[in-house]
Amino acid sequence: MAEFRVRRYDGFRSYWQSFEVPAKRGMTVLEGLYYIKENLDSSLAFRASCRMGICGSCAMKINGKPRLACETQILFLGNKIIVEPLENYRVIKDLVTDFEGFFAKHKAVKPYLIRQDENYEEPKELLQTPEQLNEYYVFTLCIKCGACYSVCPAASTLDSYLGPAAMAAAYRFCADSRDEGRRDRYEVASSSHGVWRCHLAMECSEVCPKNVEPAKAVQMLRRSTAFSILRSILGW
């Protein structure tokens, strides 16, 4: 048996509740939460969808670290599992947090290809070399789970801070050879709530379940925006 100690929130108060879960080999924390919901307390609220580490919905704080519940094995953690909602987000209920601001910041960096010659009536293929793809490929692996934002010290002190996930997305498209919208993204990224607010804690890369390295993206974007500002000042 494994003891699940879950931090709960009912809209008015936060409290801890413990459950006994019959853990077995291969059982994940997400399966443990489903067991609780289906057999012990149907009021327990949490998010989940794909159950295979792709959607990012089940990200939560497990034994002190943000993880994907669908990938985290219970027996690897021992017989006591402490589950909490992600930090730096408003808690809606139990383990469910409000991601509206997170996705609004992601949208603000224009996370899509921008082309000046767009012609949807006569589309054309935009070719890339393997080397050009490698410039940004790792940053396409982000699943928007929000784990990086939950450990970011800058995000915890400044609500308007874009956060590592949004800036990793910005760099992903700025580094794409097919894109022509860098100037727009640089303007957003170099604002007072952008890359210059980063504390270089690097915790975002530590907790990323897909090894995206958002901290690296932020620093690369910081360098790019600095050169862009310098060029505009010098008229290059």
pLDDT of residue 103: 97
| DSSP states of 153-193 | HHHHH-TT---HHHHHHHHHHHT-TT---HHHHHHHHTSTT
Mean pLDDT of 31-40: 98
Stretch 207-229: mean pLDDT:
92
Percent of the chain clearing pLDDT 90 (strictly above)? 86
What is the pTM assigned to this prediction?
0.92
pLDDT at 233 over 80: no
pLDDT at 188: 93
The token duo for 89 is 């987000």
- Per-residue pLDDT at 227: 83
Token readout for 230 is 């310098």
Q: Look at residue 230 in the predicted model and tell me its pLDDT.
A: 77
Domain end call among 97, 130, 155 = 97
Whether residue 219 sits in one domain with residue 114: yes
**pLDDT number for residue 84:** 98
Q: What is the dihedral of CA 112, 134, 57, 169, to 10 degrees?
A: -40
| pLDDT computed for residue 124 by the predictor | 82
Of 97, 118, 136, the residue that ends a domain is 97
Q: Is the pLDDT of residue 35 over 70?
A: yes
Same domain? For 131 and 180 the reply is yes
- Same domain, yes or no, for 80 and 24? yes
* pLDDT tens-digit map of 47-71: 999 999 999 999 999 999 999 999 9
Model confidence at 120: pLDDT above 80: no
pLDDT of residue 231: 74
pLDDT at residue number 135: 95
In CATH, what number is assigned to the domain containing residue 140?
Answer: 1.10.1060.10
Confidence band for 209, pLDDT divided at 50, 70 and 90? very high
Identify the pLDDT of residue 121. 79
Same domain for 197 and 116: yes
CA distance 102 to 149: 8
pLDDT at 8 over 70: yes
- Of 45, 76, 97, which residue constitutes the final position of a domain? 97
Q: What is the extent of the structural domain holding 172?
A: 100-234
Say whether pLDDT at 235 is over 70.
no
What is the model's pLDDT at position 236?
64
Residue 36's SS3 state is helix
Residue environment code for 79-109, b if the CB has 16+ CB neighbours within 10 A, otherwise e:
eebbbbbbebbebeebbbbebebbeebbebb
Average pLDDT of 190-199?
Answer: 92
Q: Is there a single domain that holds both residue 120 and residue 64?
A: no
Within this chain, do residues 86 and 133 fall inside the same structural domain, yes or no? no
* Mean model confidence pLDDT for the chain: 94
Q: How many separate domains does the chain show?
A: 2
pLDDT tens per residue across span 154-178 = 999 999 999 999 999 999 999 999 9
